[in-house]
Amino acid sequence: MTHSSGKELWLAAFACFFAAAAYAGIVFLTRQTPAASGFYGHALGILGFVLMLITETLYSLRKRIRTAQWGRMADWLQFHIFTGIVGPFLVLLHSSWKFNGLAGATTLLTAIIVLSGFVGRYIYTLVPRTADGLEEQSFTGQMQVAALANARRLLALWHTIHIPIGAALFTAAAAHIWGALYYATLLR
Ligand code: HEM
Ligand code: HEM
Provide the sign of the torsion angle of the four alpha carbons 58, 60, 63, 65, taken in this order.
negative
CA atoms within 13 A on the CB side of 146: 1
Q: pLDDT averaged over the chain? A: 90
Q: State pTM to two decimals.
A: 0.93
> Does residue 2 form part of some domain?
no
Dump pLDDT digits (tens) for 7-62: 999 999 999 999 999 999 999 999 999 999 899 999 999 999 999 999 999 999 98
Residue 185, pLDDT > 80, answer no
- Residue 20's domain spans which residues? 7-186
Cα 109 to its chain centre, rounded Å, is: 11
Closest listed residue to residue 154, CA positions, set 119, 181, 182: 119
Q: Please tell me the distance between residue 103's alpha carbon and the centre of ligand 1 in angstroms.
A: 6
Phi-psi region of 98 (alpha: psi -120 to 50; beta: other; left: phi over 0): beta
> Does residue 69 form part of some domain?
yes
Residue 136, pLDDT > 50, answer yes
Spatial separation of the C-alpha atoms in residues 60 and 63, rounded to whole Å? 5
> Does residue 90 form part of some domain?
yes
- Ligand 2, atom 2, lies closest to the CA of 84
> According to the model, what pLDDT value does residue 139 have?
58
> According to the model, what pLDDT value does residue 1 have?
39
> Does residue 1 form part of some domain?
no
Residue 188, pLDDT > 80, answer no
> Does residue 63 form part of some domain?
yes
27 Cβ contact partners less than 8 Å away, ≥ 6 residues apart? 33, 34
> Does residue 82 form part of some domain?
yes
What's the length of the chain? 188
Q: How many structural domains are present in the chain?
A: 1
Dump pLDDT digits (tens) for 139-163: 556 857 888 888 899 999 999 999 9
> Does residue 147 form part of some domain?
yes
Coil, helix or strand at residue 129: strand
Closest listed residue to residue 94, CA positions, set 25, 47, 31: 47
- Ligand 1: which residues within 6 Å by Cβ? 36-37, 42, 45-46, 49, 52, 91, 94-96, 98-100, 103-104, 106-107, 110, 173, 176-177, 180-181, 184-185
* Amino acid letter, 8: E
> Does residue 97 form part of some domain?
yes
